[in-house]
Amino acid sequence: MYVTVHRGTHQIGGNLIEIGTDQTRLLFDAGASLPPLDGPKTENPFELEGLTYGRPAFDWVFLSHHHNDHCGLLRKLLPGIPVFAGKETKRILDVIADFTGQPRPEIGFGFRDGQSIQLDDVRVTPIGVEHSAKDAYMFLIQADGKNVLYTGDFRTSGKAISTVRELLGEGQELDLLITEGTNIRSGKKERAGEFQGEEWVKRRAAGRMRRYQGTVFVLCSSANEDRIQAISAAAAWAGRTVCEDLFQSAVRNRVDGNAQWFVASGVKKDSRAWPYFEELYQQRALVGAETLAKLPEKKVIFVRTSMLPFMARYMDARPPEEEKSPLLLYSMWQGYRQTAAVKQLLDFCEKRGIIVEDLHTSGHAGRDTVKALIDGLCPTALLPIHCEAEDREAFLSLHSNCMMLNDGQRWEVG
Contacts for 271 with CB less than 8 Å, ≥ 6 apart:
101
Look at residue 264 in the predicted model and tell me its pLDDT. Answer: 73
Look at residue 258 in the predicted model and tell me its pLDDT. Answer: 66
Residue at 216 is within a domain: yes
Please indicate, yes or no, whether residues 24 and 99 belong to a single structural domain of this protein. Answer: yes
Confidence check: pLDDT of 123 > 50 = yes
Mean of pLDDT values over 358-373:
93
Please indicate, yes or no, whether residues 17 and 47 belong to a single structural domain of this protein. Answer: yes
Contacts for 169 with CB less than 8 Å, ≥ 6 apart:
none
Residues facing 411 on adjacent strands: 3
Domain boundary among 343, 358, 373: 358
User: How far apart are alpha carbons 184 and 402 in whole angstroms?
Assistant: 14
Confidence check: pLDDT of 47 > 80 = yes
User: How far apart are alpha carbons 119 and 39 in whole angstroms?
Assistant: 42
* Sign, Cα dihedral of 55, 61, 65, 69: negative
334 near 356, Cβ under 8 Å?
Answer: no
Please indicate, yes or no, whether residues 279 and 326 belong to a single structural domain of this protein. Answer: yes
Please indicate, yes or no, whether residues 352 and 374 belong to a single structural domain of this protein. Answer: no
Residue at 307 is within a domain: yes
User: How far apart are alpha carbons 286 and 309 in whole angstroms?
Assistant: 17
Confidence check: pLDDT of 301 > 80 = yes
Residue at 220 is within a domain: yes
For the chain, the residue count is 414
Look at residue 59 in the predicted model and tell me its pLDDT. Answer: 97
**CA angle at 151 for the pair 149 and 157, rounded to the nearest 5°:** 100
CB neighbour class for 162 (10 Å; exposed up to 12, middle 13-18, buried from 19): exposed
Residues facing 125 on adjacent strands: 140
User: How far apart are alpha carbons 305 and 219 in whole angstroms?
Assistant: 8
- Domain span at 13: 2-187+363-412
CATH code, 246: 3.40.50.10710
Look at residue 190 in the predicted model and tell me its pLDDT. Answer: 44
Report how many helices (DSSP H) and strands (DSSP E) the chain contains, helices first: 11, 20
Residue at 42 is within a domain: yes
Contacts for 153 with CB less than 8 Å, ≥ 6 apart:
64, 65, 67, 70, 129, 131, 132, 133, 136, 180, 182, 363, 364, 386
Residue at 136 is within a domain: yes
Please indicate, yes or no, whether residues 393 and 375 belong to a single structural domain of this protein. Answer: yes
User: In the structure, what pLDDT confidence band is assigned to residue 274 with cuts at 50, 70 and 90?
Assistant: confident
**CA angle at 326 for the pair 324 and 331, rounded to the nearest 5°:** 160
Mean of pLDDT values over 83-102:
94
Helices 225-237 and 198-211, packing angle to 10 deg:
40
CATH code, 98: 3.60.15.10
Please indicate, yes or no, whether residues 393 and 291 belong to a single structural domain of this protein. Answer: no
pLDDT tens by residue, 306-350: 999 999 999 999 988 766 789 999 999 988 999 999 999 999 999
User: How far apart are alpha carbons 201 and 193 in whole angstroms?
Assistant: 8
Mean of pLDDT values over 216-232:
95
Higher-pLDDT residue of 212, 278: 212
Percentage of residues in the chain with pLDDT exceeding 90? Answer: 77
User: How far apart are alpha carbons 105 and 127 in whole angstroms?
Assistant: 23
Mean of pLDDT values over 135-162:
96
Helical spans, DSSP H, in 269-380 = 274-282, 289-294, 308-317, 340-352, 367-377
Please indicate, yes or no, whether residues 101 and 51 belong to a single structural domain of this protein. Answer: yes
Mean of pLDDT values over 251-278:
78
Please indicate, yes or no, whether residues 209 and 63 belong to a single structural domain of this protein. Answer: no
If one counts the domains in the chain, the total is: 2
Look at residue 191 in the predicted model and tell me its pLDDT. Answer: 47
Look at residue 41 in the predicted model and tell me its pLDDT. Answer: 66
pLDDT tens by residue, 178-202: 999 999 985 554 444 556 789 999 9
Mean of pLDDT values over 142-146:
96
Residue at 40 is within a domain: yes
Least confidently predicted of 34-38, 88-92, 126-130, 158-162: 34-38
User: In the structure, what pLDDT confidence band is assigned to residue 253 with cuts at 50, 70 and 90?
Assistant: confident
Residues facing 260 on adjacent strands: 243
Look at residue 278 in the predicted model and tell me its pLDDT. Answer: 80
2 near 413, Cβ under 8 Å?
Answer: yes
Please indicate, yes or no, whether residues 351 and 368 belong to a single structural domain of this protein. Answer: no
User: How far apart are alpha carbons 298 and 367 in whole angstroms?
Assistant: 40
Residue at 47 is within a domain: yes
Please indicate, yes or no, whether residues 300 and 374 belong to a single structural domain of this protein. Answer: no
CA distances from 216 to 198, 279, 325, 327 (A): 18, 27, 9, 5
Please indicate, yes or no, whether residues 53 and 91 belong to a single structural domain of this protein. Answer: yes
Domain boundary among 358, 374, 389: 358
Residues facing 358 on adjacent strands: 330
Contacts for 358 with CB less than 8 Å, ≥ 6 apart:
191, 329, 330, 331, 334
Residue at 283 is within a domain: yes
Please indicate, yes or no, whether residues 178 and 152 belong to a single structural domain of this protein. Answer: yes
